[in-house]
Amino acid sequence: MSSLEISSSCCSQETKLPSSPPSVEASAGEPLEYGRKGVNEGDEKSKDVIKFTAEKLSVEEVSQLVTSPLCGAVSLFVGTTRNNFEGKKVVSLEYEAYVPMAENEVRRICSDMRQKWPVRHIAVFHRLGLVPVSEASIVIAVSSAHRAASLEAVSYAIDALKAKVPIWKKEMYEEPSSSSWKRNKECFWATASD
């Protein structure tokens, strides 16, 4: 994961993503919604949208999910597959997750973000299965009234996700039948001796 995209927006359009195959889509039903007190929010309630899918991720669609007329900032992290690792040519990554546990951990991360920063909407989409070079494997979008909160929250979100969420990554190399499962050295179960 290597790119960070930052934008500001104040449009109120909301886009619904197509549904994913039931075997990989998070099964929580409706997105969690939280109301924030003390903000002139009208009828708009804060929401968290979490999705694990085999479908190609759209940065624009995820960004639109968090856009609000109450917010002057939408911050994004887009993690993409790079074409190399330690001198080996990477052709794709393959992600696996235990979706019910992964979804619960992402909900906790969203809750932590709301405790630390005054954010409006949060969307965390992670791709499962094969992700070719240059395609997004994760898109995290956060909206807030001002940029500092959304920038800090999105940075926290990717660090916490890598440390806590049970997602496994396999690098597929150009050499025939060559691949390697990668352990996330940031995860809490990694030992200091590795």
pLDDT digits (tens, 9 = 90+) for 154-178: 999 999 999 999 999 999 888 766 6
Place of tokens 């995820």: 62
Residue 126 DSSP symbol = E
Whole-angstrom distance between the N-terminal and C-terminal Cα of the chain? 21
User: In CATH, what is the architecture of 3-11+45-182?
Assistant: Alpha-Beta Complex (3.90)
Q: Is the pLDDT of residue 69 over 90?
A: yes
pLDDT digits (tens, 9 = 90+) for 3-12: 333 333 333 3
Residue 179: pLDDT band with limits 50, 70, 90: low
Indicate the domain borders of the chain: 3-11+45-182
Please report, in range form, the residues annotated as the binding site: 146-147, 162, 169-171
How far is residue 102 from each of residues 15, 24, 25, 168, measured CA to CA in Å?
A: 24, 11, 11, 11
Please report, in range form, the residues annotated as the binding site for substrate: 146-147, 162, 169-171
Opening angle at CA 177, ends 170 and 125, nearest 5: 25
Structure tokens at 112: 């932590």
How far is residue 127 from each of residues 50, 124, 150, 167, measured CA to CA in Å?
A: 11, 10, 22, 10
Place of tokens 């390697």: 180
